[in-house]
Amino acid sequence: MHRTFETTTERRQRVLNGAWEFLTDPENEGYEADYHESFPAEEADRLSVPSSWNAHTEYADYVGPAWYRRTFETDEESLLFTFHGIARDATVYLDGEEVASHEGSYTPFTALARHLDAGEHELVVRADNTRGEATLPHDDADWFPHGGIHREVVVETVPDVYVRDLAVEYDLYGDEATVRAEVTLHNVGARPAEPDLTVSVGDASVTDSVTVDGMDAATATLGLDIEDVDRWSPDDPTLYDVTARLHGEQAEEREGDAFADDLRDRIGFRTVSTAGREILINGEPVDIAGVNRHEDHPEWGSAQPLRIQERDLDIVQRAGCDAVRCSHYPNHPRFLDLCDEEGLLVIEEIPMWQVDESTMVSSQERAQRTLVEMIERDRHHPSIFAWSLSNECANEHPTVVDGTRQLKWAADGVDDSRLITAASNTDFEGGTDGVFDVCDFLSVNAYWGWYRDGDWDEFLDGIAEEYGEKPIVVTEFGAGAVPGERTHEGRKWSESYQADLLADCVDLFRERDDVAGFTVWQFCDTLTDPEAAMTRPRTHNNKGIVDEYRRPKEAYRVLRDRLADD
């Protein structure tokens, strides 16, 4: 499934994994040819879902629109479809009618099919991984534009009144917590309903009745107190089940006397704050030592199964790391579940990558929508301690600063319990960053010793002096190393050069009181755009401490040795 735990006990839930009919559409003829109504199955291939179509040899370099089709059987019922990730833009058709559309590869969207007839139904999806100036990410982004249905398609049966959303907030007072659960119910029937809603957190629960008009939604906020709270921390990652459950009488025209529905998630009780140069979890300083992680694999592309996610996390932990920066987009929610369970700290980011003034204007609305979708999806993950608004944008320009400030306001409006940051290379490029004013800690990207020579101490002294007493996290640093390159020891692109550079950087960062931590660029070698082959050996970003197959380089062993005593 799409999570490491069951998200419902009442709904019949299935995943539309497996072979779908698939057809590329390089001339964009599918709309006029009505593929959504009369899919040309005789011309189609069969492709597995979830997957990146670029992970299949015959479509390795394909960028553009493509179409998917499959059928499914159902009884007479209402179905809720959740598409957990389609790269990049998607339109969904059910029995020839458009039921949903979405922009962006990494956040989910839903479609509700009300009171379907029993029998066979057809689902058609159009996906397009084309990038442009206004897309997120834009067309110059330095990671491969994987295309397709690359995350799960989950189908759930829902009653006429069901739980559409669950959002939990809390305040901590010592070992006690005051919890507020905001639950949204949706009534797809014509008659009003007044079900009983129960919210439970661990062993505590509260019940109230909620009135929902026909063909409408209603939101109720229920509160409860939790005693003897076990806090989530990296050393003791305690998690609590949270469930919103409802029971009610079925409308007269529907079969059955009563209905029930539930939606389940998990939370961890903890506080996140800063004090001077330190980042605090539960009031205690944490030293961040982590990696940047793209979702990329030579066999799976961006559609990684659970075993790959588990292996990645194990490799990260065996290196002695305690943090992951999800670069440069929301990672799969199942990977975040694993981080919750293992006590890793996470910075999660939206794909606002190297945006300039004009791109900020054209992509502002998309960025805000993606940010809100990310936070609404992931707000219950205790491992996430910070939302990152952007990466290496033109932060010296007022238009970009203003746009980023609006993103911060949007984030705070959904969740103000986490830190806000934005990764910047402005100072590395010789400028002054205007976005750092809205950040709770400074995320600094710099590649001294790789792209240019420079003095790390002098550079960090300048950052600390320029931007006041905020924590500094070096979110990107490193060097490229072609796997196995040892013919020129100590030269760029060799494994030894990368290992020596990382060793020097990590030692320096850990000696400085004003550096709260670091995340190495990057975890594994990743595929880049084919057009970057002249500057990216093997058409990869080779800065991984392991290669694309997760085989360790010298840098991995050096990092592990440096962090072994922590």
pLDDT at site 529: 82
Q: Report CA-CA distances (Å) from 287 to 277, 331, 345, 500.
A: 11, 23, 10, 22
Phi/psi zone of residue 64: left (φ > 0), alpha (ψ -120 to 50 degrees), beta? left
Which residue in 100, 251, 242 sits closest to 183, CA to CA? 242
How far apart CA 289 and CA 294 sit, in angstroms, is 17
pLDDT at site 255: 54
Rg value, the chain, Cα? 24
**197: amino acid identity, one letter:** L
Task: Tally the C-alpha atoms within 13 A of residue 506's C-alpha that lie toward its C-beta.
Answer: 26
Instruction: Please report, for the chain, the start and end positions of each structural domain, with discontinuous segments joined by +.
Output: 17-151, 161-267, 272-563
Structural class in CATH, domain 17-151: mainly beta
Query: CA geometry: angle at 69 spanning 68 and 74, to 5°?
Result: 140
CATH code reported for the domain at 272-563? 3.20.20.80
Which residue in 477, 422, 423, 421 sits closest to 446, CA to CA? 477
Query: CA geometry: angle at 543 spanning 541 and 549, to 5°?
Result: 75
Q: How far is CA 485 from the centre of its chain?
A: 33
Catalogue the E-assigned strands of 75-146.
Answer: 77-83, 86-87, 89-94, 97-103, 109-116, 119-128
Torsion of CA 535, 536, 542, 543, to 10 degrees: 40
Phi/psi zone of residue 338: left (φ > 0), alpha (ψ -120 to 50 degrees), beta? alpha
Number of Cβ within 10 Å of residue 221's Cβ equals 12
CB-based contact 515:460 (threshold 8 Å):
yes
The residue ranges of the chain whose pLDDT is under 70 are 250-257, 565-566
Q: Which residue's entry shows tokens 């993103």?
A: 407
pLDDT at site 251: 55
CB-based contact 423:475 (threshold 8 Å):
yes
pLDDT at site 256: 54
Q: Report CA-CA distances (Å) from 472 to 96, 384, 457, 508.
A: 53, 17, 13, 13
Query: CA geometry: angle at 161 spanning 159 and 162, to 5°?
Result: 80
Contacting residues for 523 by C-beta, under 8 A, at least 6 apart: 291, 292, 293, 294, 312, 315, 316, 324, 544, 545, 546
pLDDT at site 254: 52
Superfamily of chain region 161-267: Immunoglobulins (2.60.40.10)
Phi/psi zone of residue 150: left (φ > 0), alpha (ψ -120 to 50 degrees), beta? alpha
